[in-house]
Amino acid sequence: MWLFGLLACLVAAGLAGLGTWQLQRRAWKHDLVARVDARLQAAPVPAPTDCAPACEPYTRVFVSGLFAHDRETLVQAVTEAGAGFWVLTPLMAEGGTILINRGFVPRDRRDPATRAAGQVAGPVRVTGLLRLSEPGGAFLRANDPAAGRWYSRDVAAIAADRGLSRVAPYFVDADATPNPGGLPQGGLTVVAFPDNHLVYALTWFALAAMVLGATAYVLRDARRRAGARSA
């Protein structure tokens, strides 16, 4: 029975280790949320021309330039406004090209001709949130540039498909500043970080306690039976 007890203790230690790891993850997540909240509350800064050493996601930025509406890309989206598309439009800025997620349009307004007022000509200034590229596609759905089907905002793939050069390796989610005609609708970025780490930690600790409790019961019962046989 000593081997059984040893194995049970090892299992319990492993479960307790997982619980401790979840508590560490919880501390990391809370620090991340605090840093993102600080960026969201900060004044916008000029959009960087590169990401050296690294761009901080959800930084408020601004950039000026000209929209290349003829090279916009529609990315499938589900938002609080319903199902439709994100409109990603290249902004030709002084330091290069930046993809701007101008906002949401419903399915029946995917054709730019149905929202012509929003196809702004001339210099513009965009304020929004810096977002990291989303390469590959969405869950179980790969981007298909040849068919014009996009499920994620993959900056490099969109730039290649649209023949863009000197493109920043991120995109910018435009804020809620209204566009002429009301579309695209910006300001729909959802900033949320799941935080279930405490629940997971308590679950692992509870399992560890159950293993130890069950082991103690089994060993105690084994000793009782052994004592009864020897009596």
Report the SS3 class of residue 225: helix
CA geometry: angle 218, 222, 223, nearest 5 deg: 120
Q: Name residues whose C-beta falls within 8 Å of residue 182's C-beta, 6 or more positions apart in sequence.
A: 118
Q: Is residue 76 domain-shared with residue 164, that is, in the same domain?
A: yes
Q: Is residue 89 domain-shared with residue 120, that is, in the same domain?
A: yes
Domain hosting residue 22, numbered range: 2-36+195-230
- Would 223 be classed as within a structural domain? yes
pLDDT at position 220, please? 79
Q: Is residue 109 domain-shared with residue 164, that is, in the same domain?
A: yes
Q: What tokens appear for 4 in the block?
A: 């059984």
pLDDT at position 65, please? 95
Q: Is residue 103 domain-shared with residue 156, that is, in the same domain?
A: yes
For the chain, 231 residues long, give each residue's pLDDT as a single digit of tens: 667 677 878 888 888 888 898 888 888 888 878 888 888 888 999 998 777 556 888 999 999 999 999 999 999 998 888 899 999 999 999 889 999 999 999 999 999 999 999 999 999 999 999 999 999 887 778 999 999 999 999 999 999 999 999 999 999 999 999 999 999 999 998 887 788 888 888 888 888 888 888 887 777 766 777 666 665
Q: Which residue has the tokens 């970080």?
A: 193
Q: Is residue 22 domain-shared with residue 63, that is, in the same domain?
A: no
Q: Is residue 178 domain-shared with residue 212, that is, in the same domain?
A: no
pLDDT at position 16, please? 86
- Would 94 be classed as within a structural domain? yes
Distance CA 60, CA 174 (A): 10
Helices (H), 42-173: 155-162
Enumerate helices (H) and strands (E) in the chain, giving the number of each: 3, 9
Q: Is residue 14 domain-shared with residue 73, that is, in the same domain?
A: no
Please give the helix or strand (H or E) that residue 146 lies within, else none: none
Q: Is residue 100 domain-shared with residue 199, that is, in the same domain?
A: no
pLDDT at position 29, please? 81
CA geometry: angle 205, 211, 212, nearest 5 deg: 90
Q: Name residues whose C-beta falls within 8 Å of residue 194's C-beta, 6 or more positions apart in sequence.
A: none
What letter does residue 163 receive in the DSSP assignment?
T
Q: Is residue 162 domain-shared with residue 76, that is, in the same domain?
A: yes
Q: Are 93 and 147 in contact (CB under 8 A)?
A: no
Number of domains in the chain: 2
